[in-house]
Amino acid sequence: MIRIVCLGGAGSVTGSCYLVENPQGKKVLVDCGLFQGGRQMEERNRGDWGFDPKEVRTLFLTHAHIDHSGRIPKLVKDGFEGKIMTSPPTAELCEIMLLDSGHVQEMDAEWQTRKNRRRAKKEVYPLYTTEEAMESLRFLSPVGRDQIVTVEPGIKARLRNAGHILGSSILELWVGEGNEAIKIVFSGDLGKNHQLIVRDPHEIFDADYLFLESTYGNRRHHSFEQSKEELLEAIRYSVSQGEKVIIPAFAVERTQEILYVLSEFYRKGLFKEIPIYLDSPLAIKATEIFRKNKKYYDQEAQAIVDKGHDPFDMPGLHFTPTTRESMAINEGTGPAIVIAGSGMCTAGRIKHHLKHNLWRKGASVVIVGFQAKGTTGRKIVDGAKEVKIFRENVAVRAKVFTIGGFSAHADQEDLLEWVSHFESNPRVFVIHGEPEASKALAKEIQERFNLIAHIPKWKERLILRPREVTIEGPEEMEQLPDVKTAMLNTIVDLERELEILKRRIKSDELEGKIGEEEMDRLEYIKEELQATLP
Ligand SMILES: [Zn+2]
């Protein structure tokens, strides 16, 4: 029998990680992603693996996104010494993303430690450091697409194009030998049909078991053509007003798609040369990797290259890797397009550009990615009259364009179409989705194709036999504290904090002045309150 434990990306969209064990007890791992989205979820990153990393000889990595790759440095730190099998572009992208993630982990720990010090709590250590991220890179072992590789006696694998981001793969896994062998397919994240730059997902016809992502399992995307129109409208609006267009964007894939569309506009003569700044060191490095990996482009991108163009370039495009160059953007006046991270306006250089432009009538902010609850980006999308940036209230006078058609994920129709190619009636496990999305997709799969679709829970163990499956619950149900208890705990903590703050403000020491320390404490209380929102 073959055992699969769903250690992440089950019941949620982050932390993707599946442990596969063959009848001889050999273990391989599929993805090793970071849990993201709120403190309770992030706590899982520090939890027990549920297996000994030393025993795992192979990790298959479907793609470079942090929710699929972000715990690799921790896995290595905890003893993993095997091979990380992945496509060559994924290995290249991982290099820049994991180093960046190490840096973020260090900054987070530093900030938490500073907060804790004020409350006489202990120091927080980063999940891993930049140096540990660097160390983990030597285990990356790129393999070509479409070739079958034997990784253990009785375990074979093949990577297929998933069409999600550059280098993203579907994994085909054969476990067991002879009549006992079964084929398991992990979809990874699937791209939508006709996505820019990358080819459409590879069609697969047979599997005994299919692990299918369901990020957009209950949604239909907006039309992409309409989204391009809206982007052009934003540019024309701000150019006519002599102001800037600010685009917060994720560094990998989204940024390159924006550059691709802008250069297409330019070639078609839809706008005249204006300064365009790619103001993100990570996005600049990612774009260089996209430029190098031409053989992974789809036909349209290839055709642009064949005509002698670079699909990510146009006159007026400037890369601004240094802080000095970044600051200079805001010293200049006149129309320009600025693409910067972070994608949800919570950190990074985008905050400076928003501070300088959000209050300007005639400027525009173009939102092209998902904005999670509580983020500055979400507030802007929801029509806030002002938002707080670096402790200052900034009025929102710029025009806000929310463009929904840029997505690197298959929507419900794309997912169902991809499933329709299977001729072998696989048993389906619906993973990597919020519960409503997974449920909606599972229902459609059952109704349309008459396939059995099950939604595994976090830590659920699946026993697979040729065409037979047993489901075991998690060994010990590890419950997150319920929302009510978590909220009450936080409130009790905060009452204490408020009391201290009240005393400080009233004390004679301050002589009527409110200092940095008091503002910090207030900011802390606000953040804690926000973190309790489910
Ligand atoms: Zn992804």
What one-character-per-residue DSSP string does 412-442 give? HHHHHHHHHT-SS--EEEEESS-HHHHHHHH
Strands 17-21, 2-8: pairing kind: antiparallel
Tokens of 230: 């809206």
> How many CB atoms neighbour CB 25 within 10 A?
8
**Residue 533, pLDDT score:** 65
CA 289 to centroid of ligand 1, rounded, Å: 17
Residues with Cβ < 8 Å from 484, sequence gap 6 or more? none
- Ligand 1 centre to CA of 264 (Å) is 25
Ligand 1 geometric centre to CA of 470 (Å): 29
- How far apart are the CA of 531 and the centre of ligand 1, in A? 25
Instruction: Give the distance from CA 204 to its chain's centroid.
Output: 25
For residue 195, how far is its CA from the centre of ligand 1 (angstroms)?
Answer: 14
What region does 299 belong to: left with phi over 0, alpha with psi -120 to 50, or beta? Answer: alpha
The whole-angstrom distance between residue 246's C-alpha and the CA centroid of its chain comes to 21
**Tokens describing residue 480:** 């997150």
What's the DSSP call for residue 373?
A: T
Distance 516 CA to ligand 1 centre (A): 40
Q: Along the 534 residues of the chain, how does pLDDT read in single tens digits?
A: 899 999 999 988 889 999 999 989 999 999 999 998 777 888 899 999 999 999 999 999 999 999 999 999 999 999 999 999 999 999 999 999 999 999 999 998 998 888 887 777 788 899 999 999 999 999 999 999 999 999 998 999 999 999 999 999 999 999 988 777 899 999 999 999 989 999 999 999 999 999 999 999 999 988 899 999 999 999 999 999 999 999 999 999 999 999 999 999 999 999 889 999 999 999 999 999 999 999 999 999 999 999 999 999 999 999 999 999 999 999 989 999 999 988 888 888 999 999 999 999 999 999 998 777 778 898 999 999 999 998 899 999 999 999 988 888 999 999 999 999 999 999 999 999 989 999 999 999 999 999 999 999 999 999 998 766 777 777 555 555 566 776 777 787 788 888 888 887 887 666 667 776 777 778 777 777 776 665
Ligand 1 centroid to residue 65 C-alpha, Å: 5
**How many angstroms separate the alpha carbon of residue 343 from the centre of ligand 1?**
14
The CA 152 to ligand 1 mean position distance, Å, reads 27
Distance 428 CA to ligand 1 centre (A): 20
Q: For the domain with range 224-402, which CATH number is right: 4.10.520.10, 3.40.50.10890, 3.40.30.10, 3.30.70.260?
A: 3.40.50.10890
Query: Which residues neighbour 389 within 8 Å (Cβ) at sequence distance 6 or greater?
Result: 351, 354, 355, 358, 376
Strand partners, 30: 18, 60
Evaluate whether 286 touches 256 at the Cβ level (below 8 Å).
Answer: yes
Ligand 1 midpoint to CA 252 (Å):
10
Q: Do the bridges between strand 336-340 and strand 276-279 make them parallel or antiparallel, or are there none, so unpaired?
A: parallel
Q: What does 463-477 look like in DSSP terms, one character per residue?
A: EEETTEEEEE--SS-
Query: 90, 168 in Cβ contact below 8 A?
Result: yes
Name every residue whose Cβ is closer than 8 Å to that of residue 511 and which is 6 or more positions away in sequence. none
> How does strand 244-248 pair with strand 209-213?
unpaired
pLDDT at residue 105, as a whole number: 93
State in Å: Cα 69 to ligand 1 middle: 10
- Please report, in angstroms and rounded to a whole number, the separation of the first and last CA atoms in the chain: 39
Q: Report the separation in Å between the CA atom of 254 and the middle of ligand 1, taken as the mean of its atom positions.
A: 11
Give 300's strand partners: none
Distance from residue 433's CA to the centre of ligand 1 (Å): 12
In the reported structure, the alpha carbon of residue 156 is separated from the centroid of ligand 1 by a whole-number distance in angstroms of 24
Q: Is the dihedral of CA 63, 65, 67, 69 positive or negative?
A: positive
Using the mean position of ligand 1's atoms as its centre, give its distance from the Cα of residue 295 in Å.
Answer: 21
Pairing of strands 209-213, 182-186: parallel
What tokens appear for 266 in the block? 């330019």
Contact 207, 424 (CB under 8 A): yes
Distance, in Å, from the CA atom of 237 to the CA atom of 333, rounded to the nearest integer, reads: 16
Match domain 2-219+408-472 to its CATH number in 3.60.15.10, 3.40.50.720, 3.90.76.10, 3.40.190.10: 3.60.15.10
Question: Angle CA(51)–CA(145)–CA(468) in degrees, nearest 5?
Answer: 50
Helix, strand, coil % (nearest 5) of the chain?
Answer: 40, 20, 40
Cα–ligand 1 centroid distance for 253 (angstroms): 10
Cis peptide before 342 (omega within 30 of 0): yes
